[in-house]
Amino acid sequence: MSTFDSTKTRLETLLKDIITGEIQLPDFQRGWVWDDEHIRSLLVSIARSF
């Protein structure tokens, strides 16, 4: 069984993959759309290893 490990992929790489469309969140997974402030807050938390 694999586990989630946030230290294996750099944030820069994740963002690039999102921009190029290699990583996407399926529509069925989230009915609520995050606003810009929530997205910024999430990225800051990830960058600070929270």
Q: What is the pLDDT along the chain (50 residues), one digit of tens a residue?
A: 567 666 678 888 888 998 898 988 766 655 677 888 998 999 899 888 86
Alpha-carbon distance of 3 to 8, in angstroms, equals: 11
In the chain, the number of structural domains is: 1
In a domain, 3, yes or no: no
In a domain, 19, yes or no: yes
Tell if the pTM clears 0.75, that is, is over it: no
In a domain, 2, yes or no: no
In a domain, 15, yes or no: yes
- The pLDDT assigned to 33 comes to 78
DSSP string across 5-24? -TTSS-HHHHHHHHHHTSS-
In a domain, 36, yes or no: yes
In a domain, 17, yes or no: yes
In a domain, 4, yes or no: no
The conformation of residue 4, written as its DSSP 8-state character, comes to -
User: Which domain range does residue 15 map to?
Assistant: 11-24+32-47
